[in-house]
Amino acid sequence: MNLLTFGGLILTWGSLIAAIIMDGASLSSFMKLAPAILVFGGTFGATAVGFSMEEILALPKKTNRAFFTPKFDYEGVINSLVGFATKSRRDGVLALEDSIEAIKDDFMKKGLQMLVDGVDMDRLRDTLEQDIASLKQWYKEGEEFWKQMGGFSPTLGIIGTVLGLIQMLSELENAESMGPAIASAFIATMYGVSAANLLYLPLANKIKNVGTKDLLQKRIILQGLLCMQAGISPRMTEQTLFSFLYPEIKHSEGKGSKAEK
């Protein structure tokens, strides 16, 4: 569970609700069914037009990554790859076959199996790079869906406000109702802008962030496998793989390493 995602959304919406209450307004006065149907239903419908049914059905799984993010243990992955490199250098590539079943990462398992099976370097690189490209597209579709929701939502809110104002102007003879009617009309805009900036766009950014971390781990694995196949020493393999990491992670380079001393 990604507590930062849950906590951020709770803080954001909690701040909005607190601002309404502290301003002396009643929450019930902001609950209008017609604007909600137009803004939320219309936004989803307009966004769905640009996607296939398969992409829509896969959306919950992609969005789930924002709330239940896999743990990306870069150092653990590097140490595992260095360990495999050490074993391969000492006992040969075929000795790695005994370690494949214990690997939980499907991408690493697939690459290591190809390595044991003697697949040439170009085929190994092309196959795994295609897997990475497909995964990147998978994340991109989830990110793009919520980003488009964030784009359509304010527009639908404005449309709702315009409809409310038109309705109000059609009843100008009742001057006493103009104030409440204007306030009610702008609720649609509030729905649209709030949903876009407090939900849809944050989700898009989160999916993008998780995808970036996932792809980085996959690229580290790919490079580690290529180093093994090229017969590069475990020590050099370790240094190469740590070069992928951010400066704040690199400080622990070499700690717990399985590279040959």
Is 176 part of a structural domain of the chain?
Answer: yes
Residue 254 confidence (pLDDT) above 90? no
pLDDT at 259: 53
Is 67 part of a structural domain of the chain?
Answer: yes
CA–chain centroid gap for 67, Å, is 9
Confidence of residue 256 (pLDDT cuts 50, 70, 90): very low
Q: Which domain holds residue 143?
A: 32-74+122-250
More confident residue, 181 or 134: 134
Q: Please report, as a single letter, which amino acid is at residue 168.
A: M
Question: Do residues 128 and 111 lie in contact, with contact meaning Cβ atoms separated by under 8 Å?
Answer: yes
Question: Do residues 153 and 39 lie in contact, with contact meaning Cβ atoms separated by under 8 Å?
Answer: yes
Q: pLDDT by residue (tens digit) across 92-106?
A: 888 889 889 889 999
Q: pLDDT by residue (tens digit) across 19-33?
A: 888 877 778 878 889
Confidence of residue 179 (pLDDT cuts 50, 70, 90): low
More confident residue, 205 or 180: 205
Q: How many residues does the chain have?
A: 261
Is 193 part of a structural domain of the chain?
Answer: yes
Alpha-carbon distance of 87 to 109, in angstroms, equals 16
Domain count, the chain: 1
Residue 253 confidence (pLDDT) above 50? no
Alpha-carbon distance of 52 to 36, in angstroms, equals 25
Is 227 part of a structural domain of the chain?
Answer: yes
Confidence of residue 4 (pLDDT cuts 50, 70, 90): confident
Is 12 part of a structural domain of the chain?
Answer: no
Is 2 part of a structural domain of the chain?
Answer: no
**What mean pLDDT value characterizes the chain?**
88
Is 137 part of a structural domain of the chain?
Answer: yes
Three-state secondary structure readout of the chain = CCHHHHHHHHHHHHHHHHHHHHCCCCHHHHCCHHHHHHHHHHHHHHHHCCCCHHHHHCHHHHHHHHHCCCCCCHHHHHHHHHHHHHHHHHHCHHHHHHHHCCCCCHHHHHHHHHHHCCCCHHHHHHHHHHHHHHHHHHHHHHHHHHHHHHHHHHHHHHHHHHHHHHHHHCCCCCHHHHHHHHHHHHHHHHHHHHHHHHHHHHHHHHHHHHHHHHHHHHHHHHHHHHHHHCCCCHHHHHHHHHCCCCHHHHCCCCCCCCCCC
Is 135 part of a structural domain of the chain?
Answer: yes
Question: Do residues 201 and 147 lie in contact, with contact meaning Cβ atoms separated by under 8 Å?
Answer: yes
Confidence of residue 249 (pLDDT cuts 50, 70, 90): low
Alpha-carbon separation of residue 232 from 52, 88, 189, 197, 223 (angstroms):
45, 11, 60, 49, 11
Tokens of 35: 């604007």
